[in-house]
Amino acid sequence: MREPPYATELKPYGRALVELARERQDVVCLGADLTRQTETDLFRDDPELGSRFFNGGMAEANIVGVAGGLARQGHLVFVHSFGVFLTRRAYDQVAMAIAYPRLNVRIVGFMPGLSSPGGPSHQAIDDVALMRALPNMTVIDVADAVETAQAVRALADLPGPAYLRLKRGEIPVIFDEDHQLSLERAQVLLDGDEVVLVAAGMMLPAALAAARTLRRAGVSAAVVHVPVVKPLDAATIAAACSGAKGVVTAENHSVVGGLGSAVAEALAEAGVSCTLRRVGVPDTFAETGSRAFLFAKYGLTAQAIVDSAWEAAALAGTPPTTSDAEAAAGSYSLV
């Protein structure tokens, strides 16, 4: 694992999809406008692949249905838009045309949570909850460019449907090249037995920063990285949290129905007794604004994780302050 400030990459998803499609003739790429924004211009403009790219325009319900039809005939279908439009807007279609028949369609939704400046209409704060509620659906919220590329590979051979949640623009490189994304296992990135921070997607860097701060303050803090929210690796999470005083989940998503809810269910069912705090969008619609502004305003920060851990574990004194110096200007911000 690398140390911050993290370097960033552009279009790791788009490049990985092109690479896969060159090897696999069954791959078809669908879009609903927003081609450059979903990194699929690389696919569309590739002379070898362009004939397998179809842009359905601003009609998400239809393109999801078309994806189902193609998959029924043996194609591996990747369908793209912003997360809000593929999950909220086309929910019944995803449920009936893809999830229920258990087809090999990858629903790739960009701009998760408050990473979009576009306000509530563009902010997918409930996409994980919606997709997690569907039987047969795998739900993935990767943290960096290395995992993004690996997720495309891993999803190529996964039977059944999956929702892949991807950040747009500059994608941090957190993991080393030898990192191995697993669709089955959550990863304990840091061991610790006093507090456990369970993070997914864009909140992993903040969770790592929070853990470093807590450790400097003498608190034994673990970090569990959960790129696959469904099926949840409940065993790894329960084992890591067993005996801990406090557990904090961190997600760029509503605290209702996403990672925090999934972890709460897993811990309760495993009989793990500890105090849980969920860091995420606090059951509210947000507003327009820069990512840094929105993350700070709605509490998606390393400091919020530290404070929540301190409270959950009922630690004495005041919680330590996290250092924003770890996020150098121009790099992927931890705020």
> Contact between 134 and other proteins (CB under 8 A)?
no
Give the nearest distance from C-beta 283 to other proteins in angstroms: 28
Give the nearest distance from C-beta 137 to other proteins in angstroms: 15
CA distance 285 to 84: 13
60 tagged catalytic: yes
Q: Among residues 56 and 83, whose Cβ is nearest to other proteins?
A: 56
Residues 6+ apart with CB under 8 A from 30: 53, 54, 55, 56, 63, 66, 67, 70, 77, 78, 79, 80
Q: Among residues 93 and 254, whose Cβ is nearest to other proteins?
A: 93
CA distance 67 to 108: 12
Q: Among residues 54 and 293, whose Cβ is nearest to other proteins?
A: 54
Instruction: Please identify which residue in 7, 8, 37, 62 interacts with other proteins, judged by CB under 8 A.
Output: 62
CA distance 216 to 323: 11
Exposure string for 15-51, b = 16+ CB within 10 A, e = fewer: bbbbebbeeeeebbbbbbbbbebbbbebbbebeebee
- Ordered strands of the 275-281 beta sheet: 187-190, 221-225, 195-199, 246-254, 275-281
> Contact between 100 and other proteins (CB under 8 A)?
yes
Give the nearest distance from C-beta 19 to other proteins in angstroms: 20
> Contact between 334 and other proteins (CB under 8 A)?
no
In the numeric block, the tokens 């949840």 are attached to 232
> Contact between 222 and other proteins (CB under 8 A)?
no
Give me the catalytic one of 60, 147, 194, 326.
60
| Binding segment toward other proteins, per CB under 8 A, in 73-81, 207-215, 226-234, 283-291 | 73-81
Q: Which residues are catalytic?
A: 60
Chain positions contacting other proteins, by CB under 8 A: 28, 51-52, 54, 56-57, 59, 61-75, 92-93, 96-97, 100-101
